[in-house]
Amino acid sequence: MGPHSLLAAPGYWTGDGVRKKKKTRREKAPCNRWKSTFSREEFRAEMAAQVERLRRDSAAFRMAERHGLVAVTGSPVVFWFERETVG
């Protein structure tokens, strides 16, 4: 299969003909900039703190929660790469 084959597996070809695997998950720039200042555990704590910040600062969140449009689960923050490596 060549670099322009529609049947090629997900990925891409480099200019020198080497096949590279394409990332299956894309990170968004704002999240990357935000999390780059924290260690993994600090970022986990920041993510967990978002619910209380939303309750404190966002009338729209409080209203959505009150009307059952959003539900806080209290689940621990587990990153996608932690889930994929465990199972």
pTM of the model: 0.54
pLDDT confidence of residue 19: 58
CA 38 centroid distance within chain: 15
pLDDT confidence of residue 8: 45
CB-CB contact of 61 with 54 (8 Å)? yes
Q: Where are the chain's structural domains?
A: 26-86
Measured between alpha carbons, how far is 15 from 3 in angstroms, rounded to an integer?
Answer: 10
pLDDT tens digits, 1-59: 444 444 444 555 556 665 555 555 555 666 666 667 888 899 899 989 999 999 999 99
Binning pLDDT at 50, 70 and 90, where does residue 79 land? Answer: confident
